[in-house]
Homo-oligomer: A and B are copies of this chain.
Amino acid sequence: MTATPFPVSEIVATRRPHRKDAARNYDALLEAARAAFAEHGADASLEDIARRAGVGIGTLYRNFPTRRDLFETVYADEVNTLCRAAVELADREPWAALTAWLDRFAGYMVTKRAVREALDGESDIFQACRESMYAAGGPLLERAQRAGAARADMDFGDLLRMVAGITATVFDDDAQRDRVLAIAMDGVRAVR
């Protein structure tokens, strides 16, 4: 509520190296990790990630001594993007802004699910990310609630969980996913 939505990445311990080749490897690893987590979930093989990044396994471990470090960094990255998006959406209508943001949120859920699975909530960074995300997205819901567009008897956590759950599911096609999400959002709208 009071926290600024930005400093998440600065909390993360591991930092991007200064040297050119090192920085390139760091980026490649992060990108490969993102893909691997999205594909295989929490227990993607670290060796596979290094392979995909075209980097030795040793390099991976130097940058991210722990599997957790890698997770945290990838996750913090996504959250930052999400926070920035919330700010950019501030000028739209309350309900439109909220749903637009939730759309983005849904896009980043693949990673989040893996992270949640791996970190199991017992991480400082995870906590910081959550706060940061609530600080960024929470106001969107509150605004919609004040405008009478969203029901008042729910909080931002409820909404996030709902959207997260639905988007994490396997659907026949994207149309079905959108349809189901819309139905659920009708429940959020219903102020009667």
Contacts and interface: CB of A to CB of B under 8 A. Distances in A.
A190 interface: yes
Contacts of A147: none
Contacts of A39: none
A67 interface: no
Contacts of A121: 170
Contacts of A151: 183
**Main SS class of interface, A:** helix
Nearest to A186: B187
A37 B186 CA distance: 34
A54 interface: no
A43 interface: yes
A184 B188 CA distance: 7
A164 B183 CA distance: 14
Given A116-B170, A168-B169, A170-B116, A161 B184 contact: no
Given A165-B180, A166-B166, A187-B190, 10 more contacts: A43-B43, A151-B183, A161-B166, A161-B170, A161-B176, A162-B180, A165-B166, A183-B184, A186-B186, A187-B188
16 contacts: A43-B43, A151-B183, A158-B176, A158-B180, A158-B183, A161-B166, A161-B169, A161-B171, A161-B176, A162-B184, A165-B180, A166-B166, A166-B184, A168-B168, A183-B184, A186-B186
